[in-house]
C-alpha cells in the first residue's frame, strides 16, 4: 500500500497538483527497504527541477521552491534568502513554518551571521541537536524569525550560472532525525536547480516587465493581444481591452518634479494589479503615462464594470506626495472584440485609443466605450 500511495502521489504531482505536498507528508517507510527512498530521491532530482523551470513568476517560483525544500528535506521550517543586486543586501524572500507561508520582506547585511558565512565560503553548513555551546550562535545568526524553536539546521548556498545568489535555510528535521551528508548532497543539487530557475525568472522579468510600474511592457501587450484575439475567435469568446491615461501627469512633473511623476505611475500600476484577475487579465504599461489592459473572456458590460471600478479606485487612492497626499485621476477608453468580428489588432487598438480621446475630451476622469 505504501508503494501504491507513493505512485499516486507522484502521478498527482506530475499533473501539476504540487499542493498535495503541503497537505500530506510522504512517509519513508517502504515495504521493501530502500526502494521507496530511492524512488523519492529519483523523483526529487529529476522531476521537481522541471516544475521549477516552468515557473517564471517570481512569487509562484518561491512558493514551489520552499515547498520542495520543506517536503523533500522533511523539515518543519524553511526560509529562502536572495541577494539584492542593487542594494547588495540579503533579502528574506519567503518563510514557511509548519505549512504556513509568509513573505516578510526583511533585509540583512550580506555578511550577516551564518547565511553570510555560507555565501562567503560557498559551502553548505549543517548542525544537529543544538546544545548550550552552539545554540546562542545559531540563535543570533539565522536572522529570519525562526530562531526560537531550532534544534537542527542546514544552510545551503543557491549557486546558479552566475555564482551564489542566496541561501536556503531548513530547520528541525521531522521525528528528531538529524541531517546527514547525503541530505546535504541532495539539497545542494536541488539548490543549484532552484538557483538557475530564479536566474531564469529574473531574466524573464527583465525582458517582459516594466521596471517602474512592474506591469508588462508594450511589446508584451502586442504579442499577448494577438494571441488572445486568435483564441477569442477560435473558441467564440468575448475579449475586451482598455487604455488608461493618467490625467495631467505633465503638471505633476512640472510642479513637483519628474520623481513625483514616477511615484504616481508606480502607484497607479500597483492599483491596476490589485484590482485585476490574477493570471487571467493582462496589465501593461502602454507608453509614457498610458496603461493598457487585456481582459480575456470579458464582454463590454463586464469590462466597463472593471474599468469603472479601477477609475474609482485610482481616484480614491492616496498618492504619496512630497508635501501632501495627492489626488490623481485617470481617463479610460474601452473597446471589445465580438466573437465573429473581423477587426485586426491595429483596428481594435485604434478603437480603444479613440474611446480614450473621447474620455479626455469630455472632461477626463471617466470611462468611454467605443465598440
Residue positions annotated with a catalytic role: 289
C-alpha grid cell for residue 181? 551528508
How far apart are alpha carbons 32 and 29 in whole angstroms? 9
In total, the chain counts a number of residues equal to 371
What is the rounded CA–CA span in Å between residue 171 and residue 70?
9
Which residues have C-beta within 8 Å of that of residue 264, sequence separation ≥ 6? 246, 249, 252, 319, 326, 328
Q: Measuring CA to CA, how many Å separate 331 from each of 110, 200, 215?
A: 44, 36, 18
Q: What whole-number distance in Å separates Cα of residue 4 and Cα of residue 13? A: 14
Please state, as a whole number, how many other Cβ atoms lie within 10 Å of the Cβ of residue 186. 18
> Which DSSP string corresponds to 314-365?
HHHS-B--SSS-B---EEEEEEEE-TT----HHHHHHHHHHHHHHHHHTTSS
Strands (E) across the chain are located at 75-84, 89-97, 100-102, 106-109, 125-127, 153-160, 163-173, 239-246, 282-287, 290-296, 330-337, 367-369
Tally of CB atoms within 10 A around 296: 19
From residue 313, how far is each of 88, 269, 308, 324, 338 by CA, in Å? 35, 12, 9, 19, 28
Q: Which residues contact 29 (CB under 8 A, 6 or more apart)?
A: 2, 36
Amino acid at each position: 500500500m505504501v508503494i501504491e500511495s507513493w505512485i499516486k502521489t507522484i502521478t498527482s504531482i506530475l499533473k501539476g497538483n504540487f499542493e498535495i505536498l503541503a497537505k500530506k507528508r510522504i512517509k519513508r517507510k517502504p515495504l521493501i527497504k530502500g526502494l521507496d527512498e530511492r524512488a523519492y530521491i529519483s523523483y526529487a532530482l529529476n522531476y521537481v527541477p522541471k516544475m521549477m523551470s516552468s515557473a517564471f513568476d517570481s512569487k509562484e517560483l518561491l512558493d514551489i521552491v520552499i515547498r520542495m525544500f520543506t517536503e523533500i528535506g522533511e523539515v518543519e521550517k524553511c526560509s529562502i534568502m536572495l541577494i539584492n543586486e542593487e542594494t547588495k543586501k540579503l533579502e528574506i524572500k519567503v518563510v514557511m513554518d509548519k505549512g504556513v507561508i509568509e513573505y516578510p520582506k526583511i533585509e540583512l547585511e550580506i555578511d550577516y551571521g551564518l547565511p553570510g558565512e555560507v555565501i562567503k565560503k560557498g559551502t553548505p553548513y549543517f548542525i544537529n541537536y543544538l546544545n548550550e555551546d552552539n545554540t546562542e550562535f545559531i540563535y543570533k545568526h539565522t536572522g529570519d524569525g525562526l530562531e526560537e524553536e531550532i534544534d537542527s539546521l542546514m544552510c545551503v548556498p543557491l549557486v546558479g550560472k552566475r555564482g551564489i545568489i542566496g541561501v536556503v535555510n531548513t530547520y528541525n528535521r521531522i521525528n528528531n532525525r538529524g541531517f546527514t551528508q547525503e541530505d546535504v548532497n541532495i539539497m545542494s543539487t536541488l539548490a543549484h536547480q532552484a538557483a538557475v530557475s530564479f536566474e531564469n525568472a529574473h531574466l524573464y522579468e527583465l525582458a517582459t516587465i516594466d521596471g517602474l510600474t512592474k506591469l508588462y511592457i508594450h511589446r508584451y501587450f502586442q504579442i499577448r493581444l494577438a494571441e488572445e484575439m486568435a483564441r477569442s475567435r477560435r473558441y467564440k469568446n468575448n475579449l475586451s481591452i482598455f487604455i488608461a491615461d493618467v490625467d495631467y501627469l505633465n503638471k505633476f512633473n512640472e510642479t513637483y518634479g519628474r520623481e513625483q511623476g514616477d511615484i504616481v505611475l508606480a502607484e497607479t500600476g500597483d492599483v491596476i494589479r490589485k484590482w485585476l484577475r490574477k493570471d487571467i487579465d493582462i496589465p501593461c504599461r502602454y507608453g509614457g503615462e498610458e496603461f493598457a489592459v487585456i481582459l480575456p473572456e470579458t464582454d463590454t458590460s463586464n469590462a466597463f464594470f472593471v474599468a469603472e471600478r479601477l477609475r474609482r479606485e485610482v481616484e480614491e487612492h492616496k498618492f504619496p506626495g512630497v508635501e501632501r497626499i495627492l489626488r490623481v485621476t485617470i481617463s479610460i477608453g474601452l473597446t471589445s472584440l465580438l466573437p465573429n468580428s473581423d477587426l485586426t489588432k491595429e483596428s481594435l487598438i485604434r478603437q480603444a485609443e479613440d474611446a480614450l480621446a473621447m474620455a479626455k475630451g469630455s472632461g477626463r476622469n471617466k470611462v468611454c466605450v467605443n465598440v
